[in-house]
Structure 1
């Protein structure tokens, strides 16, 4: 397939290279920041830098809108599509119906719409095993959906047809599993670094925690720690220390402790 990308952030950076490795031609890259478009194009074999959002003469079979949710509306209002192209976005939360409505309002030509959502935390410079990358695909048109499934399967062995509500729930779950977890690991890093201790000391514990959760049918069954045990003397000492160190961390500690206690009292 011939594929064009709108956006040059982390998602575009990884998806475009994964598609190219699978044998597709990334023919165009557009970014509001031309320098970022040049950097991404330099990683690809034969991608042209698209100077603006006028794709009317594009030869692409698929145009991927790999932009943030906040930027998606503005991009759709400005972009000019070639007729009958397949246009997909990569968002975990924006519904297909909402996306299709925006396209119908602002596009002067008929285009096919779909969702091509990669469930992963992407960062430039951090390699991804694309064969294991979960890809969630949706389109109202069965023929178009099958084409997107085929595109996804050329990249990954982990492809799922998923409607907008299911994808939304998946995204909310991913925020808890990834974003909040990473934030808490960041707090741990800051705490231990304040006392000039080595963060590497925590890495085996973090790895074991993840491994146990993965290998348990019910992650709550392998919960440990003072909140799980109801060790209030330890909890109070922790909160006293946190109150002196960073009161915001105290509030987080108290909230999570209360929620863990509520869970196991209920059980």
Structure 2
């Protein structure tokens, strides 16, 4: 299949190469940041940089919006597509209906719409991720497009699900807790060790064991440990006193500890 990417950020970096490795051809890449587009093109076989969003003469069958949620409307206003093209966004939180309505309003030709959402965290510039075990969440406005996206997804991953817009939003919220908030907390732990000239590496075996136990458990709450879980008031008080000159971290510590205790 011939594809075009609109956006050249973290997700596009990995997804475009995954499609090429699966035997598909990337025709064009567009990005508001031309430098990003050129970097991505340099990793692809024979993709070309397109300076604007006029794809009327493109040979691509699939157009992938790998862009921030807030940019979807701005892009669709300018997007010019070949007739009957399939346009998908890759958002965890934006509904399919929003994309369909926008293209109904702004597209001069009939197009099909869908969602191709990889449930993973992506960082640009790292080694391409293996998509075989990355869940792909698929949704489409019609059965033909749905079957097309399922088949395409199955060429990349062993885990392909039909997920509607509400279910995808729930997954996205859960992913923020599991990934983004967890990473933020690890950053706080690093700041604390750095502030006392301690090695963050000392925590890595603990982090690995914690994550593995949570993944292996029937429910992560069943393997919760720590002073809040055992209602160790003395230790909690010592920790709160230590954090007294760090009000934001202190508030977060207290809120999370209260949450753990209330779940008992």
State the superposition RMSD in angstroms.
0.7
The DSSP-based 3-state class of the residue aligned with 2:120 is: coil
For 1:210 and 1:183, the matched residues in 2 are separated by 15
Pairwise CA distance, 1:125: 3.2
Pairwise CA distance, 1:243: 1.2
The DSSP-based 3-state class of the residue aligned with 1:80 is: coil
**Counterpart mapping for 1:78-97 below 5 A:** 78-97=78-97
Unaligned 5+ runs, structure 1: none
1:74 is matched with: 74
1:210 is matched with: 211
Pairwise CA distance, 1:34: 1.2
1:263 is matched with: 263
Number of residue equivalences: 263
1:158 is matched with: 159
CA contact (8 A) 2:112 2:141 kept: no
Which TM-score applies when normalising by structure 2? 0.98
Pairwise CA distance, 1:229: 0.5
The DSSP-based 3-state class of the residue aligned with 2:83 is: coil
Unaligned 5+ runs, structure 2: none
Pairwise CA distance, 1:259: 0.6
For 1:33 and 1:182, the matched residues in 2 are separated by 27
Pairwise CA distance, 1:35: 1.5
**Counterpart mapping for 1:128-147 below 5 A:** 128-147=129-148
Residue 34 (str. 1) matches residue 29 (str. 2): no
For 2:248 and 2:233, the matched residues in 1 are separated by 20
Which TM-score applies when normalising by structure 1? 0.97
* 1:185-226 residue CA offsets vs partner (Å, 9 max, x unmatched): 000000011111111000000000000001100110100000
Moved segments of 4+, more than 6 Å: none
For 2:131 and 2:23, the matched residues in 1 are separated by 14
For 2:125 and 2:207, the matched residues in 1 are separated by 22
For 1:75 and 1:110, the matched residues in 2 are separated by 17
For 1:130 and 1:65, the matched residues in 2 are separated by 18
2:194 is matched with: 193
Pairwise CA distance, 1:59: 0.5
**Counterpart mapping for 1:219-258 below 5 A:** 219-244=220-245, 246-258=246-258
Pairwise CA distance, 1:126: 3.1
